Structure 1
Amino acid sequence: MTDLLTALLLGILEGLTEFLPISSTGHLLIAQHWLGARSDLFNISIQAGAILAITLVYRQRLWQLATGLGVKAQRDYLLKIALAFAVTAVIGLPVRLLGWELPETVTPVAWALVIGGVWMLVAERLGERGPPSDAVTWKIAVAVGLAQVLAGVFPGTSRSAAAIFIALLLGLNRKPAAAEFVFLVGIPTMFAASGYALLETVLEGTAGDEDWLGLAVAFAAATATGFATVRWLLGYIATHRFTPFAWYRIGLGAALLLGLPAGG
């Protein structure tokens, strides 16, 4: 398989899985276990391609927020997005610099998929017990920021799953509203992560080793498939539960654990 074809497939996989609560990072790591490992810059940058898709999907909402600063509700919502991002940045950067994360191998990813699937089943049930609400509180904003850090420490957790389901548990139990807030927080989060990874690559002097054409192909593929996926997902969760995704995670994680050789 050529490098460009592999990059294309990884980009499509990223776009399909970034917004579904099944862990894009986990799926990329599993795919690269057989297709060959890629750099951190590659993995983070194609996630930014998927986030670009979110920017396009929510372009009207973003414009509404940008031009509605004179409206208290709009201003507060934007400040809560900023707070969630700040929590992720302030806590996540030291965590990354100190190397506090599980190894990016299949076994911990498989366990994260299983545990995350069980967490989704429990959290959705508990979240549904409260009165319907689409209000984003300051507590929810902080919790979403912390959930993003947690997802970075445990590959396979899923940033969107960790953040959406903590929001559901804390009272933001209208799923489209929870998804919107989490996806909008993901825009500055992933663009900042990509910029940081690019800076690291330049400072380490390894930019010449990067497959820039493959990265560009994967970025474009992630953007296109991410746009289609998120449009479908927003319609789906308006009338359906997350249960199928939870059982998919549990099944995939169990299959990986059962199929791995000792020490895999």
Structure 2
Amino acid sequence: MSDHLLAILLGILEGLTEFLPISSTGHLILAEHLLPGQVPDMFETMIQLGAVLAVVVLYFEKLWGAFVTLPSSAASRQFAAAVILAFFPSMALGALLHDFIKGVLFSPVVVSVTLVVGGVLILLAERFRPAPRVLDVDDISVGLGLKIGLCQCLALIPGMSRSGATIIGAMMLGVDRKPAAEFSFFLSIPTMIGVFAYEGWSNRDALLAQGSQDLILVAIGFIVAFITAIFVIKLFIGIVQRMGFAPFAYYRIVVGLIMLAIFWPA
């Protein structure tokens, strides 16, 4: 398999999984170990911004409306502050632990275990979550946003899932399923911009080298992830409203156990 074809397949996988509580990074790590070909080390994290830009497109009216009314609307300021404050814990911890995460935790065995653990946690959250008190994403306070942001720190472990950690964390804090998913979407924007900028700067020499193959592969994955995610986001909201998160939990557990059987050291 050519590296370009691998970049396309991984871009599709990223777009399909970024907003589902099944861990896009974990799936990319597993796929890279299962499929022939090679992509740059920063590929998995940098193409995530491509999928996240789909949120900007699909929710542009909401985001632009909040931006232009910041000076005049307390609700817009609360929304913006909640998202921005929620972004900082994982960004700070991720920068501090970056080398350990990429060097030690980016392992198919770690991903397989956390897929199973995360699936069990989702089932427990669906069973024992409190009655929702927050029914609209605009009602998420700054303090609640910070607590959801702290939950996002769990996603620094590959396989736990950024969307899964934030959505399930929000539900356990009294947020209904739909606003929990939407807040996770909005939180992904500053989070992935920060990750993209950090990885891009750290790998700038490889990316900016004349005729850089790394830059070409990242660009392919980025664009494919964006196009794929456009179709996934609204479908995901519909599934969540009808069926909850249990189907994703069972999927995680099954895939995690299969991958453990494949990658567990002999």
Contact 1:143 1:163 in 2 (8 A): no
Cα deviations by residue, 1:99-126 (Å, 9 ceiling, x for unpaired): 2564312111000000000000111222
Please, what TM-score do these two structures have when normalized by structure 2? 0.90
1:231 maps to 2:226: no
CA distance in 1, matches of 2:59, 2:147: 22
Deviating more after overlay: 80-89 vs 180-189: 80-89
Give the aligned CA root-mean-square deviation in angstroms.
1.8
Contact 1:8 1:218 in 2 (8 A): yes
Amino acid at match of 2:150: L
1:185 corresponds, among 180, 184, 187, to: 187
CA distance in 2, matches of 1:214, 1:262: 31
Q: How many residues align?
A: 258
Structure 1 counterpart of 2:6: 6
Shift, 1:47, TM fit:
0.4
1:222 maps to 2:232: no
Gaps of 5+ in 2: none
Evaluate the alpha carbon distance shift between residue 40 and residue 149 of structure 1 in structure 2; reply closer, same or farther with a 3 A threshold.
Answer: farther
Shift, 1:149, TM fit:
2.3
Deviating more after overlay: 126-135 vs 107-116: 126-135
Evaluate the alpha carbon distance shift between residue 132 and residue 89 of structure 1 in structure 2; reply closer, same or farther with a 3 A threshold.
Answer: closer
Shift, 1:132, TM fit:
6.1
CA distance in 1, matches of 2:101, 2:230: 32
Structure 1 counterpart of 2:30: 30
1:160 maps to 2:174: no
CA distance in 2, matches of 1:132, 1:55: 23
Deviating more after overlay: 206-215 vs 188-197: 206-215
Amino acid at match of 1:162: A
Q: Percent identical across equivalent pairs?
A: 38
1:146 maps to 2:150: yes
Structure 1 counterpart of 2:68: 67
1:249 maps to 2:252: yes
Please, what TM-score do these two structures have when normalized by structure 1? 0.91
CA distance in 2, matches of 1:234, 1:103: 30
Evaluate the alpha carbon distance shift between residue 40 and residue 194 of structure 1 in structure 2; reply closer, same or farther with a 3 A threshold.
Answer: farther
Structure 2 counterpart of 1:212: 215
Evaluate the alpha carbon distance shift between residue 132 and residue 65 of structure 1 in structure 2; reply closer, same or farther with a 3 A threshold.
Answer: closer
CA distance in 2, matches of 1:40, 1:145: 26
Deviating more after overlay: 136-145 vs 74-83: 136-145
Amino acid at match of 1:125: R
Q: List 4+ stretches of structure 1 deviating above 4 A.
A: none
CA distance in 1, matches of 2:38, 2:140: 38
CA distance in 2, matches of 1:88, 1:210: 30
Contact 2:90 2:153 in 1 (8 A): yes
1:198 maps to 2:195: no
Gaps of 5+ in 1: none
1:90 maps to 2:92: yes
Contact 2:39 2:217 in 1 (8 A): no
Contact 1:41 1:194 in 2 (8 A): no
Deviating more after overlay: 251-260 vs 76-85: 251-260
